[in-house]
Amino acid sequence: MPEINAFQKIKSLKENLGKVIRGKPGIIDLAITALLSRGHLLIEDVPGVGKTTLAHGLAKSINCSFQRIQFTSDLLPSDVIGVTVYNQALHSFEFREGPLFANIVLADEINRATPKTQSALLEAMNDRQVSVEKTTYRLPRPFMLLATQNPLEFSGTFPLPESQLDRFTMCIKMGYPDESHEREIITRSASASSSIEALSPALTTDDVERLQALVDKVKVDEDLVGYIMAIAKATRNHRSIRLGVSPRATMTLYKAAQARALVSGRDYCIPDDIKALSVPVFAHRIITAEHGAFDGTEASTAVMDEIVSGIAVPI
Separation between Cα atoms, residue 59 and residue 144, nearest integer Å: 10
State the pLDDT at residue 155.
66
The percent of residues above 70 in pLDDT, for the chain, comes to 93
Peptide bond into 142 cis (omega under 30): yes
Which CATH architecture best describes the domain 8-217? 3-Layer(aba) Sandwich (3.40)
Phi-psi region of 82 (alpha: psi -120 to 50; beta: other; left: phi over 0): left
Strand runs (DSSP E) across 50-165, as ranges? 66-70, 82-87, 92-97, 104-108, 129-132, 135-138, 144-149
State the pLDDT at residue 45.
79
Beta bridge partners of 67: 105
Q: Are 294 and 302 in contact (CB under 8 A)?
A: no
C-alpha closest to that of 242 among 286, 280, 278, 281: 286
Q: pTM higher than 0.85 for the full model?
A: yes
State the pLDDT at residue 34.
97
3-state SS class at 8 = helix
Separation between Cα atoms, residue 191 and residue 198, nearest integer Å: 10
- Neighbouring residues of 20: CB distance < 8 A, sequence distance ≥ 6: 53, 57, 195, 196, 199
Cα torsion angle, 274, 275, 278, 281, sign: negative
Separation between Cα atoms, residue 84 and residue 86, nearest integer Å: 7
The answer on pLDDT for 188 being more than 90 is no
Phi-psi region of 109 (alpha: psi -120 to 50; beta: other; left: phi over 0): left
Q: Pairing state of beta strands 241-243 and 287-288?
A: antiparallel
Fold of 218-315: Helicase, Ruva Protein; domain 3 (1.10.8)
Sequence ranges of the chain with CATH classification 1.10.8.80: 218-315
What pLDDT band is residue 196 in, cutting at 50, 70 and 90?
confident
State the pLDDT at residue 161.
84
Strand runs (DSSP E) across 109-263, as ranges? 129-132, 135-138, 144-149, 170-172, 241-243
Separation between Cα atoms, residue 100 and residue 233, nearest integer Å: 35
C-alpha atoms less than 13 angstroms from C-alpha of 214 in its C-beta half-sphere = 27
Separation between Cα atoms, residue 107 and residue 42, nearest integer Å: 9
- Mind listing the pLDDT tens digit for each residue in 34-70? 999 999 999 987 777 788 899 999 999 999 999 999 9
End-to-end distance of the chain based on CA atoms, in angstroms?
A: 22
Sequence ranges of the chain with CATH classification 3.40.50.300: 8-217
- Amino acid letter for position 2: P
Separation between Cα atoms, residue 102 and residue 83, nearest integer Å: 16
Cα torsion angle, 194, 198, 202, 204, sign: positive
Q: Are 92 and 136 in contact (CB under 8 A)?
A: no
State the pLDDT at residue 163.
86
Separation between Cα atoms, residue 196 and residue 286, nearest integer Å: 36
Residue 292 DSSP label: B
- Mind listing the pLDDT tens digit for each residue in 111-127? 999 999 999 999 999 99
The dihedrals phi and psi of 70, each to the nearest 5 degrees, come to -85, 110
Beta bridge partners of 97: 82
C-alpha closest to that of 159 among 53, 253, 292, 54: 292
* Region of poorest pLDDT, from 135-144, 170-179, 241-250: 170-179
